[in-house]
Chain A
Amino acid sequence: MDDFDWAVILRSAGFLGHGLALSALLVAVASLGGLGLGTGLALVRLVAPRGVGAIVAGYVAVLRSVPLILVLFWFYFLLPIATGRPVSALGSALTAFVLFEAAFYCEIVRAGIAGVPQGQRLAAMATGLRGWQALRLVILPQAARAMVPVLLNQVILVFQDTSLVYVVSLRDFLTTANIVATRDGRPLEMYGTVAVTYLVLCLGGTLLIRLRSA
């Protein structure tokens, strides 16, 4: 530990900052997009006919059973072919993340809705609300309140997942640190910085969520 080079961390702070900004973008889009699409999928499973529901269930099952790295490669390769147009690495990665995380958010939302006591739905219908209204005004708000800690926790998991864009050479936080580590021969300083940053952000986030729901 005699020649720990603090200077390399300071020198590359700007570069690392850009990487962190990209990671932030990835988390934001993946979480919001994933939540939106996931909620939609959950609602589809709730109200749609059995065939459609089965397709959604199959989609969710497959995406939860394969590694995220494979999904990243799939979309990196598939998107330009499917759209017939060139797609940037960032576009492929964002698409992959939204579609991947949606599968997880779908299950969280489904569990949240199922967690609302059956009596609530019956009571809502007894007051004259129809199915869709009951869902929107009574069930979902209660489900949402219960789901918040789990949803926030998923955001932290998404943040950790974004480090995987290393495999498609997108310059997120980890990849920029890797570039500096490789170029300047300082793996300890760089990966140490990355580890500590994630530790502070994720552990801090987890503790905040726990405090909030305590």
Chain B
Amino acid sequence: MGGLGRVIWVAGVVVAGGVVAAQAQTVDAITKKLRETGSITMGYRETIPPTSFLDESGKPAGYSVDMCHSILEAIRVQMKLPALKITNVPVTLQTREALVANGTVDIECGGTVNTFARSHQVDFTPVTYVASNQFLALKATGIKDLKDLDGKIIAIAGSGSSVKDLDDLIAREKLNVKLLNVDDHAAALIAIESRRADAYFSDNSAFYGLVKQSRHPEALAIVGPEIGYAPQGFMIPKNNPEFLWMVDHQMAKMFESGEAEKIYMKWFGPYGGSVGPKLRAAWETASFPE
């Protein structure tokens, strides 16, 4: 058999194997696992303070982490489980959706924007944070407004949800800019600080952490208009209607009781943040009656 023939053989076997493997589906796998083993896998981000990050002792901490712990504890009580073992799995911008979609992570407690493309593959909890896109730049570049971007280099994370908004912005404002593709927020900060790029376009919830991470926070500034509506929620694998219902229910209780706002102020308060009108409206509309 010639070389190409062999390759086709192998490809055929692999595809057939994949088709067979893809047939199995289980509904409500998470609640089943909870009932049988009392354990759940929680995804978290390592580098986006104060939303989700690793504290000094190397444990996950932050706004999303606190929210999730609260939700999961309430679910434990509701399901009358004696104990709940939470396995923490770090996720990144690139891996978070895949890990939820294939069931490695049961609930992703970071900050993922709810888009229709994503909700085709995973389910989202009610809105936990409303972000919009903005620019992060070194003050030294003198960039304050859109018109200052002319001829500059903009860093953009290809796997974030901001790409489309940036493309639209460039087309609308007819901006003459070059784009630098970066893997994640940390790479973007390096790009800005090493002057490979002049500004980073991303949802501004990440900027708090980036400024804090920088060795010279006073040299950075968040500039430009706020663009787009980027509501974030936690991701849950599809086919888990019972678990999703429990999470929705618990979060509604937290919105109504003010616990959600307390957690929010604990983490964003020190930065001068507060629950904005869109987020408050989202919380109120998610609080269906019992």
Contact = CB atoms under 8 A, between A and B. Distances in A.
9 contacts: A54-B5, A62-B7, A77-B102, A78-B18, A82-B18, A86-B102, A86-B104, A87-B104, A182-B187
A128 interface: no
Contacts of B90: 169
B15 interface: no
Interface in B82-120: 90, 92, 95, 98-99, 102-105
A123 interface: no
Contacts of B190: 182
Contact of B95 (A54, A55, A169): A169
A159 B264 CA distance: 46
Contact of A59 (B3, B10, B186): B10
Which DSSP category, helix, strand, loop or mixed, fits chain B's interface? helix
Interface of B: 1, 3, 5-11, 13, 17-18, 21-22, 24, 41, 90, 92, 95, 98-99, 102-105, 186-187, 190, 193, 213, 215
Contacts of A78: 18
Given A58-B6, A58-B10, A80 B102 contact: yes
4 shortest interchain CB distances as A-B pairs: A58-B6, A58-B10, A86-B104, A80-B102
B7 to A, nearest CB: 5
A54 to B, nearest CB: 5
Nearest to A183: B213
A78 B215 CA distance: 39
A55 B22 contact: no
Interface string A61-82: 1100000000000001110111
Contacts of B10: 55, 58-59, 61-62
A86 B103 contact: yes
A54 B6 contact: yes
B215 A185 contact: yes
A58 B215 contact: no
A77 B98 contact: yes
A48 to B, nearest CB: 14
Contact of A81 (B11, B21, B105, B215): B21
A84 interface: yes
A80 B9 contact: no
A80 B106 CA distance: 13
Contact of A58 (B7, B102, B213): B7
Given A169-B92, A182-B190, A61 B7 contact: yes
A62 B5 CA distance: 12
A103 B7 CA distance: 14
Contacts of B98: 76-77
A71 B95 CA distance: 16
A55 B21 contact: no
Nearest to A57: B6
Contact of A82 (B7, B11, B21): B21
B9 A55 contact: yes
A183 to B, nearest CB: 7
A168 B187 CA distance: 15
Contacts of B9: 54-55, 58
Nearest to B29: A84
A80 B103 contact: yes
A186 to B, nearest CB: 10
Contacts of B5: 54
Contacts of B105: 86
A54 B5 CA distance: 9
A187 to B, nearest CB: 8
A163 B18 CA distance: 29
Contacts of A169: 90, 92, 95
Nearest to B13: A55
A130 B241 CA distance: 63
A84 B215 CA distance: 44
A61 B11 CA distance: 12
